[in-house]
């Protein structure tokens, strides 16, 4: 087995460095979030929810976190700048009762509120405490192949009064949305009769190339 070991000093191993870089690139969907429209409901400090979406290499930065305010629930509304095929999620928190215990994922329902979380999610995960950011939860690929908006609902934690999240990783592929795909994404999300009149006037929005 000696031949398998790397026979060089630390810091000079290109292959390990490349592997780490590749791993970091895989978690690069945070770059594709429309940060102007990103929402975190029930965050104690305004704007703190956005800080948990950051580079993989910076997941250990414990100065950036979001904590819930009134109770243990947190809800993220995450619009992307294109269409995303979501393959996995990672949720990192403290090794205590504030760590979220469950994650429910919804797709393409912009501006979700806590009332909307009564809907059936696309997928639910029971989370384990992950203080080092090591546990990846694979999504059901078919359900998350064309996501322009992702909502992440954390309904409960491991017993503390508030929930604290240090880092959220989103893994997958991004493709640039064509104008009409964005339009369709908005139609799907809203049941506003006025939109349907508009659809009839512009039938080309039905065709996805």
37: CATH: 2.60.120.470
Report strand pairing: 74-92 vs 123-126: unpaired
Query: Is residue 48 a part of any domain in this protein?
Result: yes
d(CA 157, CA 104): 13
How many domains does one find in the chain? 1
- Cα 152 to Cα 74: distance, rounded to the nearest angstrom: 8
pLDDT at position 17 is: 64
CA distance 38 to 111: 9
Element (DSSP H or E) covering residue 88:
strand 74-92
In a domain, 193, yes or no: no
Domain extent, residue 48, equals 23-175
Q: What is the pLDDT of residue 177?
A: 77
Q: Classify residue 185: in a domain, yes or no.
A: no
pLDDT band at 206 (very low <50, low <70, confident <90, very high): very low
Q: What are phi and psi of 109, to 5 degrees?
A: -125, 85
Q: Does some domain include residue 14? A: no
Taking only the tens place, the pLDDT of each residue in 142-188 is 999 999 999 999 999 999 999 999 999 999 999 987 765 555 565 55
Q: Say how many C-beta atoms besides its own lie within 10 A of residue 29's C-beta.
A: 24
What is d(CA 133, CA 86) in angstroms, rounded to the nearest whole number? 18
* 15-29, 63-77, 187-201 — most confident range: 63-77
Q: What percentage of the chain has pLDDT greater than the value 70?
A: 76
């Amino acid at each position: 087995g000696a031949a398998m070991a790397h026979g060089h000093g630390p810091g000079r191993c290109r292959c390990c460095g490349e592997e780490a870089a590749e791993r970091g690139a895989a978690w690069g969907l945070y770059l594709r979030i429309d940060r102007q429209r990103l929402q975190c409901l029930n965050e104690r400090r305004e704007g703190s929810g956005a800080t948990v979406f950051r580079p993989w290499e910076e997941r250990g930065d414990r100065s950036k976190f979001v904590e819930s305010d009134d109770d243990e629930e947190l809800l993220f509304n995450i619009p992307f700048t294109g269409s995303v095929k979501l393959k996995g999620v990672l949720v990192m928190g403290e090794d205590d009762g504030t760590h979220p215990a469950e994650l429910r994922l919804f797709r393409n329902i912009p501006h979700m509120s806590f009332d909307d979380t009564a809907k059936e999610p696309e997928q639910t995960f029971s989370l384990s405490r992950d203080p080092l950011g090591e546990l990846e939860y694979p999504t059901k690929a078919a359900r998350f192949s064309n996501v322009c908006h992702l909502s992440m609902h954390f309904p409960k934690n491991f017993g503390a009064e508030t929930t604290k999240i240090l880092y959220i990783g989103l893994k997958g592929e991004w493709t640039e949305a064509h104008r009409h795909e964005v339009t369709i994404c908005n139609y799907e999300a809203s049941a506003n009769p006025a939109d349907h009149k508009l659809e009839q006037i512009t039938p080309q929005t039905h065709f996805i190339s």
